[in-house]
Structure 1
């Protein structure tokens, strides 16, 4: 019995010791991360004070600016959740900055989505922040920069973020054909996907195949059936990258629908035509368990002509 008690004490001690070591490791890693990021934040402030070299580079690189207004500012710009660049930004060329240095955050450290970094302007003062997280422990880098002013200059305050890619914000480019966007969007447009950068992107069900028997013309997505044989069999296949199967529905185009819970299968339908020729449009739609529907496209519609 005593041996068992000692064993459990050892286990509890080992667990508590591991937790303490983990917390110490996390705090040490966070402290190191804070030091190196703060150094780079200080460097972009220093560049603002000693900017002559970068003004000259801007004038040499771009012919549409002069020395007096060559430099728009400096920035610490994230290009993804773990890597950022320190850059000087020439006037009117924020998407083609002068590269100064790049740094990858220490292992296990990532930027919290919702910010692309810090941009210090030669025209305005700055006050903003971004966050880094390590194993759930967050640290906020609060950045303030006061632009040197004269009696006639502006004292406006901005929290402008650097122009960067969608992943630099910690977000995702969401293709409306294959995904459904949701959540926040960047305060300024993402460079790589200006209108489709979102915090989340849920994948849609995809119609992999939609065919008929008798076969439809693949060029026109049209099938012609005689009045004497008005039965058409529709075969389909649905793909799901995420989510679970929900419902597959076909609208036959004559006011009738049918549903199935299978991702692959067939629907058979008999059309009625009172005249010499009738045209119907069958449309296939799939919905997953989250209620997200497949996109409607040319491949999800088939024209049926009965004549």
Structure 2
């Protein structure tokens, strides 16, 4: 009995100490990273970098400095010369402490004469800290940030704003679109959703795969069949870039983080599939694969009909429109 009591109380002590280490560890990481960013900001604010522009571009010019996030974990300290705003001078590149990430929209801080307020939100295992600037002074707050009209920060990548570059050939952008980014201005959205994809659209009698044309006699029955992709596994292999491997730190963060899930498991079911036979008749299905019979009547020597298949998921996202989703039916009388 004593052994059981000892074991029980030992486990309680271990759990209690583990919980305290977890809670204090979060606060320490946030405090350390906050101080690092504040020191970087004040360093940029207090130093003169006019010589950097002269050395880089051979003549003196106005400049400003900035802390620019390039991802949710990395940022640069930069000098931006006014005549070469698209070619900032990188003073140093930094990576935040383990488990610390940026969880907000803003891409960093610009230090110039306009003195616009900016903010970022740091996150460690569900604990958040706001870092914001006002009149070129930098502050931090655990509870909230002041109600200012915040600037979005330096021109940076889509990822730096906690948005995603969508592959519009196979994905649809969801939420607000952000065009003021330097990597994917036409496809930067809050999140991405896989579009339904027609993997197979065939007929029996078989069509010519090169011209996607099928030839039949008037009144002859054609069996159309399709297979709809769901965006999972290797259906889109090679079309969408993915991270090689997720580290254990990233997995641990994902458990506590409130951030959006970056990868989508597939299209939102149920789907609505529509086949337009080209002769005024249509057919609908709610299955990922199905088949239907149809016959054509031609009143002249030869008739041509274009058959189209499309799909829409429950969120209204339309399928990819490509040549695989179409075929021509040549009907001879």
Instruction: Give the TM interval when normalised to the shorter protein.
Output: 0.7 to 0.9
TM-score by length of 2: 0.76
Matching residue of 1:169: 161
Matching residue of 2:44: 44
Which one of 94, 107, 120 corresponds to residue 98 of structure 2? Answer: 107
- Residues of 2 paired with 1:168 and 1:35: CA distance? 20
Matching residue of 1:153: none
After TM superposition, the structure 1 stretch with the greater mean CA deviation from structure 2, 70-79 or 210-219, is 210-219
Matching residue of 1:235: 225
Contact 2:68 2:156 in 1 (8 A): yes
Contact 2:68 2:78 in 1 (8 A): yes
Shift of 1:24: 0.8
> Residue 100 and residue 238 in structure 1: after superposition, are their counterparts in 2 closer, same or farther (change >3 A)?
same
> Residue 91 and residue 217 in structure 1: after superposition, are their counterparts in 2 closer, same or farther (change >3 A)?
farther
Root-mean-square deviation over aligned CA pairs: 2.7
Tell me which structure has the larger Cα radius of gyration: 1
Q: Which runs of 5+ in 1 are unaligned?
A: 61-65, 148-156
- Residues of 2 paired with 1:146 and 1:10: CA distance? 51
Contact 2:108 2:152 in 1 (8 A): no
> Residue 245 and residue 52 in structure 1: after superposition, are their counterparts in 2 closer, same or farther (change >3 A)?
closer
Contact 2:106 2:151 in 1 (8 A): no
Matching residue of 2:145: none
> Residue 158 and residue 169 in structure 1: after superposition, are their counterparts in 2 closer, same or farther (change >3 A)?
closer
Shift of 1:244: 5.4
Matching residue of 2:70: 79
* Structure 1 counterpart SS, 2:327: strand
- Residues of 2 paired with 1:44 and 1:185: CA distance? 31
Which one of 174, 189, 194 corresponds to residue 182 of structure 1? Answer: 174
Matching residue of 2:270: 246
Matching residue of 2:131: 141
Contact 1:216 1:222 in 2 (8 A): yes
- Residues of 2 paired with 1:158 and 1:26: CA distance? 27
| Number of aligned residue pairs | 286
- Residues of 2 paired with 1:118 and 1:20: CA distance? 34
- Residues of 1 paired with 2:162 and 2:327: CA distance? 40
Shift of 1:15: 2.9
Contact 1:181 1:202 in 2 (8 A): yes
Kindly indicate whether residue 300 of structure 2 is the aligned counterpart of residue 275 of structure 1: yes
